[in-house]
C-alpha cells in the first residue's frame, strides 16, 4: 500500500509517476492522479470487512501486483451495491481499481451481468488513458471483480452462473497459453521477438509462430487501437 503521508516528491519518485529528471511532467491524466491520491472505496484494514457477498483475489505480492476485492450485492435487483478493494501495486493499478469501483457502484450499482463484461479498456477510457507500459495494471481490477462475482455465485448457490476464464494452450512445448501472450502484450511486448523474450513461445516449436503473430496483432488492436 502507498503511504499517503509521505511528502509529494517522495511519493512521485517511489511510484514512478514521473520520468526521472522531469518532475513537472506527469505521465498520467488528471483523472488518474485524482484516483491515485484520493482512491475511492479503498480499504486499508481488511479486518474491518464484514458480511460481504463475494471476495476475489488476483496476483501475488511476491510478483509485485496483487488485488483483493470484496462486493456486496442487492439480491433483489442483482446489482453491486458496494465494492471495497485492497492492492499492492503502482499508481496505475490504484487509479484503475479506484475508477472500476466507481463504475461498478454508481447510479444505484451495476447489474452483475454488466459488471462481468467490464474490460480493461473500459476502465482506461474512463481514466482518459494510461501510459502504454502501464495498461496491464488496469487488468488486475476487472479480473479481481470477476473473481469476486464468481465467489458470490458460489456462496449464493448460483453455480450455473459461474464464468470460468479458460486459457487456450498455444505452444505445447513451452506451455504458453493465449493468456500468457495477452499478458506479454499488455506489458509492452508488441513484436514477436519481444513476446518470445518474455514467454519463449515458438522458440522450440516454430510451427505455432503464425498463430502467435495473429494473437499479437489482435491484442495490440484490442488494447492500443
Give the E-state strand segments of the chain in sequence order: 54-59, 66-74, 79-88, 169-171, 176-177
Rounded distance, CA 40 to CA 25, Å?
25
- Among 62, 63, 165, 168, the one annotated catalytic: 63
90 is a catalytic site residue:
no
Angle at 29 between CA 25 and CA 33, to 5 degrees: 90
Cβ proximity of 175 and 169 under 8 Å: yes
Rounded distance, CA 182 to CA 85, Å?
24
Cell matching residue 61: 505480492
137 is a catalytic site residue:
yes
Q: Where are the alpha helices (DSSP H) in 65-136?
A: 91-105, 112-115, 120-127
Taking the CA atoms of residue 155, residue 158, residue 159 and residue 161 in that order, the dihedral angle to the nearest 10 degrees is -120
- Among 67, 112, 123, 137, the one annotated catalytic: 137
Rounded distance, CA 163 to CA 160, Å?
8
Instruction: Give me the active site residues, please.
Output: 63, 137
Amino acid at each position: 500500500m502507498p503511504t499517503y503521508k509521505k511528502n509529494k516528491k517522495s511519493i512521485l519518485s517511489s511510484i514512478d509517476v514521473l520520468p526521472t529528471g522531469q518532475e513537472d511532467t506527469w505521465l498520467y491524466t488528471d483523472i488518474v492522479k485524482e484516483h491515485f491520491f484520493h482512491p475511492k472505496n479503498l480499504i486499508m484494514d481488511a479486518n474491518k470487512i464484514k458480511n460481504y457477498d463475494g471476495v476475489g483475489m488476483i496476483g501475488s505480492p511476491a510478483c509485485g501486483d496483487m488485488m483483493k476485492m470484496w462486493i456486496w450485492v442487492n439480491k433483489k435487483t442483482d446489482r453491486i451495491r458496494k465494492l471495497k478493494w485492497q492492492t499492492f501495486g503502482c499508481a496505475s493499478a490504484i487509479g484503475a481499481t479506484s475508477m472500476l469501483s466507481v463504475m461498478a457502484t454508481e447510479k444505484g450499482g451495476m447489474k452483475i451481468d454488466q459488471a462481468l463484461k467490464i474490460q480493461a479498456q473500459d476502465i482506461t477510457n474512463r481514466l482518459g488513458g494510461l501510459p502504454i507500459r502501464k495498461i496491464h495494471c488496469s487488468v488486475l481490477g476487472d479480473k479481481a471483480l470477476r473473481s469476486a462475482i464468481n465467489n458470490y455465485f458460489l456462496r449464493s448457490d448460483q453455480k450455473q452462473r459461474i464464468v470460468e476464464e479458460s486459457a487456450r494452450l498455444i505452444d505445447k512445448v513451452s506451455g504458453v497459453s493465449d493468456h500468457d501472450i495477452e499478458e506479454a502484450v499488455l506489458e509492452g511486448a508488441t513484436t514477436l521477438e519481444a513476446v518470445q523474450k518474455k514467454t519463449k513461445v515458438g522458440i522450440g516449436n516454430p510451427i505455432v509462430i503464425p498463430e502467435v503473430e495473429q494473437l499479437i496483432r489482435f491484442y495490440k488492436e484490442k488494447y492500443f487501437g
